[in-house]
Amino acid sequence: MDISRIVNPRANEQPRRPNWTIVVDEKTGYKSTLFKETKDGMIEPMCQKFQNWKDQGMEVKIIRMDNGGENQRLVKRLNSKAWKLYPTIEYTARDTPQHNHLAEVSFATLYGRGRAMMIKALVPEEKKHVVTQKAF
């Protein structure tokens, strides 16, 4: 599991939901994502998702993620009386994306696929420069 912040360096306006959370199942490669306005906004939806999977017989037993504040709050919530999920948590070391490579690579893969679909669908890109020609 990992969170990425979406930033458009060329625009003054930023996305309304700039925090992209991704969960990757190591065994099957299944990816699940959600976008939230704040990093903490993913806590309740993730608890609900893990509970739904457990109800379907696909219990989440191990979660690998960094030890950011929002992830520590997620663990507290998962272990609370309200959810009682108790997964094993594997924290990755700081600045070591190779230890959580499935989630890290998934951001680039899904972004590239989405961009390719938009190009194929002829969705216009943000105009970078307007070139005008003068008639002589």
Give the pLDDT confidence score for residue 96 in this predicted structure: 84
CB under 8 Å to 74, separation ≥6 — which residues? 42, 43, 46, 47
Give the number of domains in the chain: 1
Domain that holds residue 40: 2-120
Q: Which CATH number goes with the domain that contains 102?
A: 3.30.420.10
> Is 132 contained in some domain?
no
The CA distances from residue 52 to 28, 58, 102, in Å, are 17, 8, 22
> Residue 128 domain-assigned?
no
Position 132 pLDDT exceeds 70: no
Q: For residue 125, tell me if it sits in a domain.
A: no
In a domain, 126, yes or no: no
What mean pLDDT, rounded, does the chain reach? 88
Digit-coded pLDDT (tens) for 74-119: 999 999 999 999 999 999 987 888 888 999 999 999 999 998 999 9
| Residue at 43 is within a domain | yes
**Measured distance CA(94)–CA(1) in Å, rounded:** 14
Record the tokens describing residue 60, joined without a space: 């989440």
Distance between CA atoms of residues 47 and 53, nearest Å? 10
Inside any domain, residue 88:
yes
pLDDT digits (tens, 9 = 90+) for 47-56: 999 999 999 9
| Predicted pLDDT at 127 | 54
Q: Is residue 57 part of a domain?
A: yes
The pTM of this model reads: 0.81
